Structure 1
């Protein structure tokens, strides 16, 4: 039965990794894999020799001698435990996604166009790199990439030039997401899973992440595509049409940044703070939306008026990427099935015996995240290693999984979305951008190892 479970996981993993080749959305194999794995666990519960207690972070003693009823009861408790932990991550992401969509509803991100006034390619490169680095730490690297490439398309007319800029934006966005607990799904998982704290994550990763962004950008600034000036700026410093755009931008970003502070003060799970921030942003969104319409417009019971006005919160919720949310649910619960059987724990013990240097293991994790999705890799590492909160291992996992994906266009969510928006060819990226991303990854890794000795 254990062999069959591992085989199903490998098949599901390959289907996720080959999403673009199979033309099959990765949420489908993720959900199927999750359901089949837990069904197999339930069918074979009588035969399994080990069971892992995720709360105590150790194998359950004497599990093999438990009665069938005791094993089934433990299975139900474990499933509920993992569902709760997964739900914490999903509701956090739903809140953050909704706030971002509310900002976009008011065209808040158009405010950034006012900061871009130069035609010099080298200066534009650094502006976009720093914007990606900072913005991804606040609203996550995927959203930051979408926002900046949208702006890029309105500023630079030449397709080939945009491809180079997009490549560096991917590197900068992934680097920016690595040092923030809300900047990348994997760092959020580690943060909510109580593997890292906000203060220590920033302390140990801000410099390595900055170097991971700055070194490739510095090298690229001397390359031919970034010399000279762009031909035309399609949109100069235009003011956003919506008068509340800048207010909603700063309010929304402030609300997201407030979440780690709320967690530190109250010690409650992050999703609670995110729901509070969403409610505050939602209140202002409703007020600002209604103020744009004449008082004579009567709002009906469903929230619509005579000119088609409807709630910005409802509109934003309808634009949430539910496939991504369901994918995270499927993959996290699938990995939880392997963790519950003790496979990840025992696998980690074997891996440590083969490769005693954990730095090499974690760097291989970073390289692996460029080939396959980093979410299951990090989820697996959380079940494999039992180091305490804020162990250097977890900080290095956050950095490697977050930045290693930049080495291939399909290795990160930021890369995939840029690939779709600019029709970037896989081999073009591999030839022109991958080596820059690899240099950034190596420099950042060495910087982390150096800081680990000093701090």
Structure 2
């Protein structure tokens, strides 16, 4: 059943996203209602890829539970990590290191961009948000929040350990050097949206000029932050190099973060009172990811630079993990372009990436779609400029992961 050729699942998902956009104070209820509606429709009418009825639902859940559990572990763990970082009081000792005008805000975005290449982009965004809250007296412009998310996503797009999507490409056989070229687009985008967002923030609330007097840094909490980050990075790298097949069977990275948090608790106890709020934000994202996983998308357009560009915009409202899985199955992409598109594209909406949802849990004012689009318009323009720069400087050069597949002819601008 598909009125006007549009499957009912897409219509239900579109209504869910519209409800999230217009009823942001009730976003969790809308997301859960949408997830329930799509699930019931697939259960009773259209069926699942793995079969019809409860058996099909169980097969689908068995396939998706690792992704959902990993996200839950990362969102909860990094919420606690951000609080540890804030309570270390290091942010109050940083103002003297940054310029006193708008360039201080821009340098902070550059730091988030660089940090995300080594860490998970959720962690980079939440650390960036914690720093911004301290440096700008907790008055952070929504456009600057959008820029923090964009910087974290752009910084992770060029690294096979910086984003779940690039890690998926690496596991499938893409060379890390293919993905690295996404930094060309990311750097150009950052120069554009970063300067504008930093000026927005400076006009809204200038950066703190001097260190907070009398503040002593809690080195123990900084050690806990480093320990949790090391657990996440080390687990990700070890399993990718040694047992990549287990990444699809068990949420090892999310579990590693939570175990590191629990192991360090006797030394520096986290603020457990933050968990209910972090859990609520996590459930919201998981509901949207579950909805996206139920969409009847079995095929993407032919691999080309226009389709890769479009996937970036789709990623702002559609989970980029199933999109990336479909692209890997289809093959024939220029993986640097795809990494930039699906990694950075979600920044255009606050709920378009896990980093955005995580940051919105710290700053509830970011949950208004209209405010995000109005204040963070520069992120969408920066995305297009970065993509254009990659076309001009690098050209569309597809690299089939499956070497038995002949690469399609390069389209658009030659290298």
Task: Assess same fold via TM > 0.5.
Answer: yes
Is the CA contact 1:137–1:177 (under 8 Å) kept in the aligned structure 2? Answer: yes
C-alpha distance in 2 between matches for 1:105 and 1:431: 29
C-alpha distance in 1 between matches for 2:293 and 2:204: 48
1:262 has 2:217 as partner:
no
C-alpha distance in 2 between matches for 1:284 and 1:252: 10
Q: Name 1:6's counterpart in structure 2.
A: 7
Q: Aligned pair in 2 of structure 1 residues 224, 18: CA closer, same or farther (>3 Å)?
A: closer
For residue 251 of structure 1, give the secondary structure of its aligned residue in structure 2.
Answer: helix
Is the CA contact 2:106–2:194 (under 8 Å) kept in the aligned structure 1? Answer: yes
Which of 147, 154, 163 aligns to 1:175? It is: 154
Is the CA contact 1:27–1:326 (under 8 Å) kept in the aligned structure 2? Answer: no
Q: Aligned pair in 2 of structure 1 residues 170, 385: CA closer, same or farther (>3 Å)?
A: closer
Is the CA contact 1:145–1:170 (under 8 Å) kept in the aligned structure 2? Answer: yes
1:374 has 2:318 as partner:
yes
User: In the TM superposition, what whole-angstrom CA distance separates every residue of 1:321-348 from its partner, at most 9, and x where no partner exists?
Assistant: 441354155225413xx25xxxx23xx4
C-alpha distance in 1 between matches for 2:372 and 2:271: 37
Q: Name 2:310's counterpart in structure 1.
A: 364
1:21 has 2:22 as partner:
yes
User: In the TM superposition, what whole-angstrom CA distance separates every residue of 1:370-402 from its partner, at most 9, and x where no partner exists?
Assistant: 4xx231x652564477334xx535543332133
Is the CA contact 2:132–2:138 (under 8 Å) kept in the aligned structure 1? Answer: no
Which of 120, 136, 148 aligns to 1:156? It is: 136
1:250 has 2:226 as partner:
yes
Is the CA contact 2:142–2:375 (under 8 Å) kept in the aligned structure 1? Answer: no
C-alpha distance in 1 between matches for 2:272 and 2:362: 27
1:99 has 2:59 as partner:
no
For residue 216 of structure 2, give the secondary structure of its aligned residue in structure 1.
Answer: coil
For residue 29 of structure 1, give the secondary structure of its aligned residue in structure 2.
Answer: helix
Is the CA contact 1:33–1:334 (under 8 Å) kept in the aligned structure 2? Answer: yes
User: In the TM superposition, what whole-angstrom CA distance separates every residue of 1:262-287 from its partner, at most 9, and x where no partner exists?
Assistant: 12123343346426734762464144
The 5 Å alignment of 1:45-444 reads: 76=55, 79-104=57-82, 106-107=84-85, 110=88, 112-113=90-91, 114-117=93-96, 118=98, 120-137=100-117, 140-157=120-137, 159=139, 162=141, 165-180=144-159, 183-184=162-163, 190=168, 195=172, 199-200=176-177, 202-218=179-195, 225=202, 230=207, 235=212, 238-240=215-217, 242-263=218-239, 264-270=241-247, 271=250, 273-274=252-253, 277-278=256-257, 281-282=260-261, 284-289=263-268, 319-320=278-279, 321-324=281-284, 326-328=286-288, 330-335=290-295, 338-339=296-297, 344-345=298-299, 348=300, 351-352=301-302, 358-370=304-316, 373-375=317-319, 379-380=322-323, 382-383=325-326, 386-388=329-331, 391-407=332-348, 412=353, 414=355, 417-418=359-360, 421=363, 423=365, 430=373, 433-434=376-377, 436-444=378-386
User: In the TM superposition, what whole-angstrom CA distance separates every residue of 1:192-244 from its partner, at most 9, and x where no partner exists?
Assistant: 9x55658356423233323322343356668894799747558468334x542
C-alpha distance in 2 between matches for 1:428 and 1:144: 23
TM-score (norm 2): 0.72
Q: Aligned pair in 2 of structure 1 residues 165, 328: CA closer, same or farther (>3 Å)?
A: closer
Q: Aligned pair in 2 of structure 1 residues 427, 12: CA closer, same or farther (>3 Å)?
A: closer
- Cα deviation for residue 248 of structure 1 reads 0.7
Q: Name 1:63's counterpart in structure 2.
A: none
Gaps of at least 5 residues in structure 2 are 400-415
For residue 379 of structure 2, give the secondary structure of its aligned residue in structure 1.
Answer: helix
For residue 267 of structure 2, give the secondary structure of its aligned residue in structure 1.
Answer: helix
- Cα deviation for residue 360 of structure 1 reads 1.0
C-alpha distance in 2 between matches for 1:40 and 1:5: 15
C-alpha distance in 2 between matches for 1:422 and 1:233: 28
User: In the TM superposition, what whole-angstrom CA distance separates every residue of 1:77-118 from its partner, at most 9, and x where no partner exists?
Assistant: x65553333122123223323432443464467465134423
- Cα deviation for residue 29 of structure 1 reads 0.3
TM-score (norm 1): 0.67
Number of aligned residue pairs: give it. Answer: 383
Gaps of at least 5 residues in structure 1 are 46-51, 54-70, 290-310
Which of 31, 38, 41 aligns to 2:43? It is: 38
Q: Name 2:412's counterpart in structure 1.
A: none
Is the CA contact 2:231–2:260 (under 8 Å) kept in the aligned structure 1? Answer: yes
Rg (Cα) greater in structure: 1
